[in-house]
C-alpha cells in the first residue's frame, strides 16, 4: 500500500493484476485463437525450421529490459521469434528422440492449472484431491495393488531419480535422511542394463552413490538384461563387502523398445532383498493393450 503524504489521499493498492481487465481478456482470446490456428494447420507447415541468425542474435543478445515492455509487445515478439521455431515435437512428422506431442486440450488444461496456481504439498483444497485421484486412476490402469501411492513428476527422468532415491532410503541399511552416505560404510551398488536410459547415471551422481558403483549388466540378443550376469555381479559385490541395493529394470528401452524379463528380475530381487525399480517411461503403457500387456506383466 502507498499513501500520498503531501495530500493525505487514500492509499492506492499496488497489485500484479492487469491494469485493464478487458484489454487483458482481449489479448487472451487473441492468443487462444492464434494457437488454435497454428495447431490446426500444423500438417501444412514444415516439421522444423532453422532459427535464422538474426532471430538467434535477437534472443541471445537482448539486454536486460529496465522498463516494462507491455503485454502486447512481448506477445508480438513471441509470434515473430518463438512460435515459428520450435524443435518440432508437436508436428505429426516428428520422429526424433522420445518427446511427447501434447494435445490441444492439454494446452487449455495448462491454462486452467496456471490460473489457479495450486500448491500441492498439502492443505485442504480441491486440486490436491484431483492429484490424488489421478494417481489412483493410473495405479488402477496399471494393475497395481489397492493403496498404491505416488506423485506426479515433471517427466520420466525426475520420476525415475525419485524412485531411486526411495530405493536408497529403503535399502541403504542406515537412516540416509539423518546420517547421509558418509562414514566409511559399505558402498551402495546399483544395477542396470547397458540399454538403460541415461537418467540412471544422472541419478547415482545426484544422489551421492557415484558412477563407480553403478553396474551396467550386459544384454542378450533381444537387448534384455541378462539375469545370469546380474546374479554374478550382485554376488561379486557382496563378496567384496559392498551393499547391493537396487536393480533397475526397463519396460521399453529408448533404443529398441526392449523389455527386460521383469518377472525374473522381481523374483531375483525378492530372493536377494533388493529394491526393484522399473523404468516404464517409454513402454509401461503397453499394459493398456491386451496384446502387449504380457510383455510388462512383471510390473
State pLDDT tens for residues 128-183.
999 999 999 999 999 999 899 999 998 899 999 999 999 999 999 989 888 888 66
Predicted confidence at residue 14, as pLDDT, reads 86
Q: Is the pLDDT confidence value at 84 over 90?
A: yes
Which pLDDT band, with edges at 50, 70 and 90, does 1 fall under? very low
Predicted confidence at residue 27, as pLDDT, reads 98
Predicted confidence at residue 5, as pLDDT, reads 52
Q: What is the mean pLDDT of the chain?
A: 92
59 vs 95, which has greater pLDDT? Answer: 59
CATH number at residue 30: 1.20.1340
Task: For residue 38, tell me if it sits in a domain.
Answer: yes
Q: Is the pLDDT confidence value at 265 over 60?
A: yes
In a shared domain, residues 160 and 272: yes
In a shared domain, residues 265 and 163: yes
In a shared domain, residues 274 and 192: yes
Q: Is the pLDDT confidence value at 46 over 50?
A: yes
Task: For residue 11, tell me if it sits in a domain.
Answer: no
Task: For residue 255, tell me if it sits in a domain.
Answer: yes
Predicted confidence at residue 181, as pLDDT, reads 82
Percent of the chain with pLDDT over 70: 95
In a shared domain, residues 108 and 150: no
What are phi and psi for residue 219, nearest 5 degrees? -115, 165
Q: Where are the beta strands (DSSP E) in the chain?
A: 188-193, 214-217, 243-250, 275-279
Count: domains in the chain: 2
Among candidate residues 112, 146, 168, the one where a domain is terminated: 112
Residue 223 to residue 11: CA distance in whole angstroms: 70
pLDDT tens, residue by residue, 195-220: 999 999 999 999 999 999 999 999 99
Predicted confidence at residue 6, as pLDDT, reads 53
CATH number at residue 216: 3.40.640.10
Query: What are the residues facing 251 on neighbouring strands?
Result: 259
Q: Look at phi and psi of residue 257 and say left if phi exceeds 0, alpha if psi is from -120 to 50, else beta.
A: left
In a shared domain, residues 283 and 184: yes
Task: For residue 126, tell me if it sits in a domain.
Answer: no
In a shared domain, residues 194 and 292: yes
Predicted confidence at residue 121, as pLDDT, reads 84
Q: Is the pLDDT confidence value at 9 over 90?
A: no
Q: Which residue range(s) make up the domain with 182?
A: 137-296
In a shared domain, residues 178 and 266: yes
Task: For residue 73, tell me if it sits in a domain.
Answer: yes
Query: What number of other Cβ atoms are within 10 A of residue 186's Cβ?
Result: 16
In a shared domain, residues 193 and 245: yes
Predicted confidence at residue 22, as pLDDT, reads 97
In a shared domain, residues 287 and 155: yes
In a shared domain, residues 45 and 163: no
What average pLDDT does this structure show over 90-107?
A: 90
Q: Residue 216 contacts by C-beta under 8 Å, 6 or more apart in sequence? A: 192, 193, 194, 196
In a shared domain, residues 60 and 150: no
| Cell triple for 77 | 515478439
- Residue 225: DSSP 8-state: B
Q: Is the pLDDT confidence value at 26 over 70?
A: yes
Task: For residue 166, tell me if it sits in a domain.
Answer: yes
In a shared domain, residues 107 and 172: no
Query: What are the residues facing 214 on neighbouring strands?
Result: 190
Of the candidates 66, 65, 69, 71, the residue with the CA atom closest to the CA atom of residue 20: 71
Which pLDDT band, with edges at 50, 70 and 90, does 98 fall under? confident
Task: For residue 3, tell me if it sits in a domain.
Answer: no
Amino acid at each position: 500500500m502507498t499513501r500520498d503524504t503531501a495530500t493525505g489521499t487514500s492509499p492506492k493498492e499496488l497489485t500484479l493484476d492487469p491494469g485493464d481487465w478487458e484489454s487483458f481478456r482481449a489479448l487472451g482470446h487473441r492468443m487462444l485463437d492464434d494457437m488454435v490456428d497454428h495447431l490446426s494447420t500444423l500438417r501444412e507447415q514444415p516439421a522444423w525450421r532453422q532459427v535464422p541468425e538474426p532471430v538467434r542474435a535477437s534472443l541471445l543478445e537482448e539486454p536486460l529490459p529496465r522498463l516494462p515492455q507491455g503485454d502486447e509487445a512481448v506477445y508480438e515478439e513471441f509470434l515473430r521469434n518463438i512460435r515459428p521455431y520450435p524443435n518440432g515435437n508437436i508436428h505429426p512428422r516428428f520422429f526424433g528422440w522420445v518427446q511427447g506431442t501434447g494435445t490441444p486440450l492439454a494446452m487449455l488444461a495448462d491454462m486452467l492449472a496456471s490460473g489457479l496456481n495450486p500448491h500441492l504439498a498439502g492443505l485442504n483444497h480441491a486440486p490436491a484431491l484431483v492429484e490424488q485421484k489421478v494417481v489412483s486412476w493410473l495405479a488402477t490402469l496399471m494393475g497395481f495393488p489397492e493403496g498404491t501411492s505416488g506423485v506426479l513428476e515433471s517427466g520420466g527422468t525426475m520420476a525415475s531419480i525419485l524412485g531411486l532415491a526411495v530405493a536408497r532410503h529403503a535399502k541403504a541399511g542406515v537412516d540416509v535422511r539423518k546420517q547421509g552416505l558418509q562414514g566409511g560404510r559399505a558402498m551402495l551398488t546399483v544395477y542396470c542394463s547397458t540399454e538403460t536410459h541415461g537418467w540412471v547415471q544422472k541419478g547415482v551422481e545426484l544422489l551421492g552413490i557415484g558412477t563407480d558403483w553403478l553396474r551396467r549388466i550386459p544384454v542378450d540378443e533381444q537387448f534384455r538384461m541378462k539375469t545370469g550376469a546380474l546374479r554374478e555381479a550382485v554376488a561379486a559385490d557382496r563378496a567384496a563387502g559392498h551393499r547391493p541395493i537396487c536393480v533397475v529394470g526397463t519396460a521399453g528401452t529408448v533404443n529398441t523398445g526392449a523389455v527386460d524379463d521383469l518377472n525374473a528380475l522381481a523374483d531375483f530381487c525378492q530372493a536377494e532383498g533388493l529394491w526393484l525399480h522399473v523404468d516404464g517411461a517409454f513402454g509401461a503403457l503397453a499394459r493398456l493393450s491386451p496384446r502387449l500387456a504380457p510383455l510388462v506383466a512383471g510390473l
